[in-house]
Amino acid sequence: MAHHRIRGLLAAVMLAAAGLTANVATAAPAAADTCYTWNRNLSRGASGSDVAQLQERIAGWAARGQNIAIDGQFGPATESALRRFQAGYGLSVDGVAGPQTYSKIYALQDADCTPAHFSYGEFNDSCGENDFTGGRVSAATAKRNIRRVMWQLEALRHKLGDRPIVITSGFRSISCNSSVGGSSSSLHMYGQAADLGLASGPSQCAMWSEGRDSGFEEILGPGYPGHNDHVHVGNKSSQFWSAPNC
């Protein structure tokens, strides 16, 4: 009988230990944030709105020439970008978004979900308008697109030594874009582009070069017509990089 009791006790201990291990593996991060709080660990194969929120924050850590889709599907490109984000901030590189990753994101973002070093005010219409209306998309869509650009710029800024980046042109209404001589298909009217001015800490060529590893598909700089006083970065479906003087 004693042997039966001992075996029963050992089995109970093993079950309890197994349950504890499972709980540790799937435990949700305890931290909370005023912008957005993740409630589960995320890895390849996961899907949902929380994945989309993560993708937005790490979009600037895409592989060269890649543009991360904000589609809520945690695939290879998202894992690769997450690993670069983790490495870039000195975290454990495991490709899993968990407490360490979320804590870094929480530290980087403000209450309106914009990154710490950029704000909507910097992307106000170049002609003095500031409500993000009058473009090719709704104001809400324009702001969402701008927020993605800001997170890519946050990554770009960090890669370039955390030196300030000055935005000289962000969102433009259709009328504003026309008045400043912008292209009729300008990404500025969608909130998908930013012009980085000469007052930025990094050089133009440094911003142009590093932009290729920050998820931007359109990057124009010195030597490209009309771009000798800024670097243009934007998100689009096809790649176009040009800066002959770099």
Active site residues: 227
C-beta of residue 130 within 8 angstroms of C-beta of residue 124: yes
Integer Cα distance of 177 and 234 in angstroms: 15
Strands (E), 107-209: 167-169, 193-197
Q: What is the DSSP letter of 62?
A: P
Beta-bridge partners for 242: 220
In terms of DSSP bridges, do strands 240-242 and 230-234 run parallel, antiparallel, or are they unpaired?
unpaired
Q: How many Cβ atoms from other residues are within 10 Å of residue 139's Cβ?
A: 14
Longest dimension (CA), the chain: 92
- Side-chain-side CA neighbours of residue 33 (13 Å): 20
Q: Which two tokens stand for residue 85?
A: 């984000």
| 116 token code pair | 């710490």
197 DSSP β-pair partners: 230
The H or E element containing residue 232 is: strand 230-234
Helix, strand, coil shares of the chain as percentages rounded to 5? 40, 10, 50
Helices 139-159 and 204-211 pack at an angle, to 10 degrees, of: 110
